[in-house]
Copies of this chain bind each other. A is one copy, B any other.
Amino acid sequence: MKEFEYNAVKAEFEAWKGQGLKLNMARGKPSLEQLELSRGLLTALDFDDCVADGVDARNYGELAGMPCARRYWAEMLDTTPEQCFVGGGSSLTMMYDLVAKAWSNGLLHSKRPWSQEKTVKFLCPVPGYDRHFRITESFGMELIPVKCGGDGPDMDEVERLVKDPQVKGIWCVPKYSNPDGFIYSDEVIGRIAALRPAAPDFLVIWDNAYCVHEIRGDYALFPDILKLCAEKGNPDLVFEFASTSKITLPGAGMAVMAASEANIKHMSRLMDAQMISCDKLNQLRQVRFLKDKAHTLELMKRHADVLRPRFDAFLRELDEEIRPLDIARWTEPRGGYFISLYTAPGCARRTVELCKEAGLVMTGAGAAYPYGKDPEDSHIRIAPSFPALADVEKAAQVFCTCLKLATLEWQGSECEP
């Protein structure tokens, strides 16, 4: 283990503070260069060509979305148009709305609305996406962490937990998981599809947020969970989600909810009270711009070309500065938007705090755990996508300094009587 010494690191830290930096790596936001890739989006739509499949995108109607948008997503997710309900700009909102409908009305196989259950528990593979956990938390559900490794959630634990009828569902980001960047193994996916939960209305929320979001290498084929569930006799177990927020423009894309036709029918009946139709004009705009899966994958290669150097820059700095010290480990994802870094237990919160002092805003430590509490205080989510490349390089340097300082402070406190 390479030597590093408090006074030198502290001096480094003070030097960063003196620079008055304003860097932000808190969220998985695309950079300006990535936005630039969607320049053509705003002119992709011709006012005189807004009718498709007999549906005028400029007027009310067609609750489940433009037929061409449903076909687009069916190809993207390897499912059928009838299983795709295309919504507004945000898949997160569609997930929230699904949970909200379970709460107020119940799902297809619910005996009663979840609001009328004494307790509702929800499984949260950790580390995970803070906004997922917040949705279920906002309904007062009890969040149960389940360890998520390189293959996906600990399925022995999941299979044990779903024997409790109060356990109503699980959050999954199966490809390039947020924040670890793991891809669930075929075995884990198969076991999820074959689950036999005690709750008849158990819900797998399959957030395929990074379905075509490779950073390195070619597009990685991924199994269609809907088909797998159907094969295992569980056709209504899963709702899959995706969106073009990180394909075209964040918040201004189109999201999809894919599920069995029986689920889509049930949800459509409930959603008919919530909306007349989503922004079909924007759906048509997206389809005109993205065309099909092949064309979308080409665009994603250009996104990767923008993202890769940012990931590389951060990882290179970690390799040079931290690996020799052996004070942390981290993931090296092939896709998605994040790097997970694990400090020595008890050092994550302090590292993030020091970063903030030095002018670098990171995702709050613990955010990837239910209720924002990482029991080990060890995990830090790194989101290198948004800043300019030079700023990512600087941010990585600042981060390494702060990580070293936090670790030294902790080692010091450990040595104290």
Contact = CB atoms under 8 A, between A and B. Distances in A.
Interface of A: 27, 29-30, 35, 38-39, 42-43, 45-47, 56-60, 88-90, 92-93, 96-97, 100, 103-105, 113, 115-116, 131, 134-135, 137-139, 245, 249-252, 270, 272-282
Given A115-B103, A138-B105, A281-B252, A92 B276 contact: yes
B30 A59 contact: yes
Contact of A96 (B250, B274, B278): B274
Q: Indicate the member of A47, A58, A278 with the most B CB atoms within 10 Å.
A: A58
Contact of A278 (B42, B47, B89): B89
11 contacts: A60-B250, A93-B274, A103-B115, A104-B115, A113-B115, A251-B277, A251-B280, A252-B279, A252-B282, A279-B279, A282-B282
A138 B90 contact: no
B29 A59 contact: yes
Q: How many copies does the complex hold?
A: 2
A173 to B, nearest CB: 16
A131 B251 contact: no
B104 A100 contact: yes
Contacts of A276: 90, 92, 131, 250-251
Q: Nearest 4 pairs between A and B by C-beta?
A: A138-B273, A115-B115, A252-B281, A96-B274
A135 to B, nearest CB: 5
Given A35-B59, A90-B276, A273-B96, A139 B251 contact: no
Contact of A60 (B27, B45, B100, B280): B27
A59 B57 CA distance: 24
Contacts of A93: 274-275
B92 A89 contact: no
Contact of A273 (B27, B134, B274): B134
Contact of A47 (B39, B60, B96, B251): B39
A127 B374 CA distance: 55
B275 A96 contact: yes
Contact of A58 (B35, B46, B57, B103): B35
B42 A275 contact: no
A29 B59 CA distance: 7
